[in-house]
């Protein structure tokens, strides 16, 4: 059974409060989303497998530890998820990056798939799916379904803001997936927006509205 981790780090909380403000512009919004992604990556990699290695320092022989286990991949859900990729790569630069393109139909709120390109060996990797917003959960559950259909078994999902409705749906459809949530908000409004949220993450990252 996967776990649900709601971040409690002061820097993450501070930065999320900052980008919620409606008068924060595109440049700053994008930069701070990257910083939050980097901090969340740190939290979401705490328990990666390690192995012992023998090391010759300039002074002595010692035994250290380095990463072991599955190689890593990052899969942003287009388009807003792209805003989290560089922050993740800053900490795990050897990770491969796949892309899943989904947009939410504004009427039905159902996800519509338009792109999928994944690392050839993605089923052998631990995959971090990233999207700033988990609202109804339609997009993220669909993206994870697509990954599972390709044989990926080891999946973590990172979002900056989640609604309880989306968390519930993720837990029901993908109970094996670990969730890393920057902030858990109150609810969805009638248009499927997270309240209080931060508005449309994609538009705010790319300046399209
Ligand atoms: C946003 C967001 C998520 C999705 C969340 O994307 O980035 O992918 O909505 O909503 P859900 O949980 O109800 O599916 P959007 O569809 O606006 O596309 P965009 O990233 O291209 O702006
Ligand atoms: N997608 C967003 O970008 N924001 C929301 O509040 C909900 C879905």
Per-residue pLDDT of 107-135, as tens digits, reads 898 899 999 999 999 999 999 999 999 99
203 is catalytic: yes
Per-residue pLDDT of 30-66, as tens digits, reads 999 999 999 999 999 999 999 999 999 999 999 999 9
Position 22 pLDDT exceeds 90: yes
| Ligand 2 pocket member 18 (CB < 6 A) | no
Residue 191: band (very low, low, confident or very high) from pLDDT cuts 50, 70, 90: very high
Instruction: Name the β-bridge partners of 75.
Output: 129
| Ligand 2 pocket member 33 (CB < 6 A) | no
Q: 194 burial class (0-12, 13-18, 19+ CB within 10 angstroms)?
A: buried
Encode 111-144 in three state secondary structure.
EEEEEEECCCCHHHCEEEEECCEECCCHHHHHHH
Position 159 pLDDT exceeds 90: yes
Q: For strands 126-130 and 72-78, give the pairing.
A: parallel
Pinpoint the alpha helices (H) of 45-174: 82-91, 138-149, 164-173
Q: Identify the nearest ligand to the CA of 132 by its number.
A: 1
5 in Cβ contact with 180 (< 8 Å):
yes
**pLDDT average, residue stretch 94-105:** 94
């Amino acid at each position: 059974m996967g776990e649900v981790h709601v971040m409690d780090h002061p820097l993450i909380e501070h930065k999320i409060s900052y980008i919620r403000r409606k008068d924060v512009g595109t440049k700053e919004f994008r930069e701070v989303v990257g910083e939050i992604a980097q901090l969340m990556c740190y939290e979401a990699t705490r328990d990666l497998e390690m192995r012992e290695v023998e090391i010759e320092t300039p002074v002595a022989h010692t035994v250290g530890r380095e990463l072991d286990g599955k190689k890593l991949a990052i899969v942003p859900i287009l388009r807003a998820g792209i805003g989290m990729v560089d922050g993740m790569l800053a900490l795990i630069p050897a990770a491969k990056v796949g892309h899943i393109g989904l947009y939410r139909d504004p009427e039905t709120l159902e996800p519509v798939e338009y792109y999928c390109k994944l690392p050839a060996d993605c089923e052998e990797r631990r995959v971090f799916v990233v999207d700033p917003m988990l609202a109804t959960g339609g997009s993220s559950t669909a993206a994870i379904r697509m990954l599972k259909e390709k044989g990926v078994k080891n999946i973590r999902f990172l979002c900056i803001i989640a609604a309880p409705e989306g968390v519930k749906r993720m837990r029901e459809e993908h109970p094996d997936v670990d969730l890393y949530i920057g902030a858990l908000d109150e609810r969805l409004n009638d248009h499927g927006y997270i309240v209080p949220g931060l508005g449309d993450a994609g538009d705010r990252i790319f300046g399209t509205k």
